[in-house]
């Protein structure tokens, strides 16, 4: 009853607030609707901002581990956490997994005797907790290569990145990039050892740099500019009084 009364009081207050400052006319209504429509149409436009231009293409990278079967006592799990989601994959020998551009996955090994799939949990929070707190998980420091952008003139159609497990101790999973295979548009392929990787994974492209700088701009530059705009408007408002 008390809550209902408070709610009614709140509604009355809102009604009063709206009525007391109501100077809306048809022109304003039209402007508001246009702005709303503009914002709604802006969203898919922004969403397509990450799409690469016509004269560039994405070369997918298939990453796989070639010697999992030499470690039959272990299960290997790839865990990927993004700001809004997380997922995992039980990795099998020579099975491809691809890394998306914005992903930074981690590879873990765990003794089969310590592993129960149901322990991981079904939601993001449970999964994050499992992978961050489980002392039985053995982590690797390996960095994965995501799919790359390249000009359409690039002869490669796909790349396979082959990983090799070297050792597993209680503290560390030691795994390396051992070689890469380039697949070319004409159907041929070439295998190169990892020390020639620079031929395969070039320096960050302009799109990687744009992604990096746009995130920095979003987190730091945008608030500073907005604060500057707010201060400017407040000072301007005070001067006009």
Partner 1 sequence: MTSLIIALALTITLEFLIAWALLRRTPLKLFIYSVLINCFTLPIAIYIYTHYQPQDSYHSQHLLLYFSLEFIVFAVEIPLWWLLTKIKLPKAIILSFLANLVTSLIGKFI
Binding site for partner 1 (CB under 8 A): 13-14, 17-18, 21-24, 28, 31-32, 35-36, 39-40, 42-43, 46-47, 49-50, 83-84, 102, 125, 128-129, 132-133, 211, 214-215, 218-220, 222-223, 225-227, 229-230, 233-234, 237
Q: Cβ 184 to partner 1, closest distance in Å? A: 31
User: Can you tell me the distance from the alpha carbon of 183 to that of 190, in angstroms, rounded to the nearest whole number?
Assistant: 7
In whole angstroms, what is the distance from residue 68 CA to residue 119 CA? 22
Q: Using CA atoms in the order 117, 120, 124, 125, what is the torsion angle rounded to 10 degrees? A: 160
What is the nearest approach in angstroms of partner 1 to the Cβ of residue 137?
14
Q: Which residue, 5 or 27, is less far from partner 1 as judged by CB?
A: 27
Q: CB of 9: closest distance to partner 1 in angstroms? A: 12
In the bound state with partner 1, the residue whose beta carbon lies nearer, of 35 and 70, is: 35
Q: Where are the alpha helices (DSSP H) in the chain?
A: 2-20, 26-47, 124-133, 206-216, 222-240
Least CB distance to partner 1 at residue 122 (A)? 13
Cβ nearer to partner 1, comparing 112 with 132: 132
Q: Which of 157, 166, 138, 127 is nearest to 57 (CA)?
A: 157
Minimum Å gap between C-beta 95 and partner 1 is 28
Unique residue bearing structure tokens 């592993």: 115
Closest to partner 1 by CB, 103 or 211: 211
> ∠ at Cα 144 (98, 172), nearest 5°?
120
Report in angstroms how near the CB of residue 171 gets to partner 1 at its nearest: 18
- The least CB distance from residue 119 to partner 1, in Å, is 14
Task: Compare residues 50 and 73 and give the one whose CB is closer to partner 1.
Answer: 50
Compute the C-alpha angle 71/74/78, nearest 5°.
110
d(CA 155, CA 45): 31
Considering beta carbons, is residue 8 or 233 the nearer one to partner 1? 233
Residue 143 · residue 176 · CB < 8 Å? no
Give the separation between CA 106 and CA 139, rounded to whole angstroms: 7
Q: Which of 127, 118, 142 is nearest to 80 (CA)?
A: 127
Nearer to partner 1, 194 or 207 (CB): 207
């Amino acid at each position: 009853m008390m809550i209902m009364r408070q709610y009614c009081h709140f509604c009355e207050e809102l009604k009063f607030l709206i009525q007391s400052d109501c100077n809306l006319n048809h022109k304003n209504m039209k402007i508001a609707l246009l702005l709303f429509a503009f914002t709604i149409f802006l969203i898919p436009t922004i969403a397509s901002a990450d799409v690469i231009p016509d004269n560039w293409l994405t070369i997918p990278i298939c990453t796989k581990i070639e010697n999992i079967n030499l470690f039959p006592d272990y299960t290997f799990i790839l865990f990927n956490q993004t700001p809004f989601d997380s997922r995992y994959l039980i990795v099998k020998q020579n099975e491809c997994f691809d890394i998306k551009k914005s992903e930074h996955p981690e590879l873990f090994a765990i003794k089969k005797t310590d592993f129960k799939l149901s322990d991981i949990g079904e939601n993001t929070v449970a999964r994050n907790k499992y992978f961050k707190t489980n002392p039985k998980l053995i982590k690797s420091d390996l960095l994965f290569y995501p799919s790359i952008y390249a000009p359409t003139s690039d002869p490669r159609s796909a790349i396979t990145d082959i990983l090799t497990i070297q050792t597993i101790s209680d503290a560390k999973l030691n795994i390396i990039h051992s070689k890469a295979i380039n697949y070319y548009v004409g159907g041929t392929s070439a295998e190169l050892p990892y020390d020639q990787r620079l031929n395969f994974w070039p320096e960050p492209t302009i799109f990687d740099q744009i992604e990096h700088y746009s995130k920095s701009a979003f987190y730091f530059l945008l608030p500073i500019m907005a604060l500057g705009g707010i201060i400017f408007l407040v000072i301007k408002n005070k001067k006009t009084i």
